[in-house]
Chain A
Amino acid sequence: MDITVNILLTIATAATPLLIAAIGELVVERSGVLNLGVEGMMIMGAVGGFGAGYLTGSPWIGLLAAIIVGALFSLLFAVMTLSLATNQVATGLSLTLLGLGLSGMIGTSFVGQPGVRLPNLDIPVISSIPVVGRLIFGQDPVFYISIALTAAVMWFLFRTRTGLTLRSIGDSHTSAHALGIKVIRYRYLAVIFGGACAGLAGGHLSLVYTPQWVENMSAGRGWIALALVVFASWRPWRVLAGAYIFGAVWIGQLHAQAFGIPVPSQFLSSLPYLATIVVLVLISRNKRLTMMNTPASLGQPFVPDR
Chain B
Amino acid sequence: MMRIELVKRPQRSALFSVLSPFIAFALTMIAGGIMFALLGVNPLDAFNIYFIQPISEVWQLHELAIKAAPLILIAVGLSVCYKANIWNIGAEGQFIFGAIFGSIIPVLFPQFEGPLVIPLMLLLGMVGGAFYASIPAFLKTRFSTNEILTSLMLVYVAQLFLDWLVRGPWRDPEGHGFPQTIQFGDSAVLPELMPDAGRANWGFVFALVAAVAIWLMMSRMLKGFEVRVLGSSPRAGRFAGFGFNRMVFFTFLLSGALAGLAGISEVSGAIGQLQPVISPGYGFTAIIVAFLGRLNPLGIVAAGLVLALTYLGGEAVQSALGISDKVARVFQGMLLFFVLGCDTLIHYRIRLIGMALTKANGTAQLEAAPKLEEAR
Contacts and interface: CB of A to CB of B under 8 A. Distances in A.
A90 B292 CA distance: 11
Contacts of A306: 5
Please report whether the interface of chain B is mostly helix, strand, loop or mixed according to DSSP.
helix
Contacts of B82: 90
Say which size band chain B's interface belongs to.
Answer: 35 or more
Contacts of A76: 337
B157 interface: yes
Nearest to A276: B153
A217 interface: no
Please report whether the interface of chain A is mostly helix, strand, loop or mixed according to DSSP.
helix
B145 interface: yes
B344 A85 contact: yes
A303 interface: yes
A108 interface: yes
A104 interface: yes
Contacts of B152: 220, 223
A99 B329 CA distance: 9
B333 A94 contact: yes
A287 interface: yes
Interface stretch (A3-11, A18-26, A156-164, A265-273): A265-273
Interface residues of A, number: 47
A13 interface: no
B4 A83 contact: yes
A223 B331 CA distance: 23
A230 B139 CA distance: 15
Given A101-B333, A108-B326, A273-B156, A226 B87 contact: no
A161 B162 CA distance: 52
17 contacts: A76-B337, A80-B337, A85-B344, A86-B341, A93-B287, A94-B333, A98-B330, A100-B333, A104-B329, A105-B326, A266-B164, A267-B160, A270-B160, A280-B139, A284-B143, A284-B145, A290-B144
Interface of B: 4-6, 8, 82, 87, 89, 139, 143-146, 148-150, 152-154, 156-157, 160-161, 163-164, 167-168, 284-285, 287-288, 291, 323-324, 326-334, 336-337, 340-341, 343-344, 348, 350
Q: Which 7 A-B pairs have the closest CB atoms?
A: A101-B329, A98-B333, A104-B326, A266-B164, A94-B336, A105-B326, A266-B160
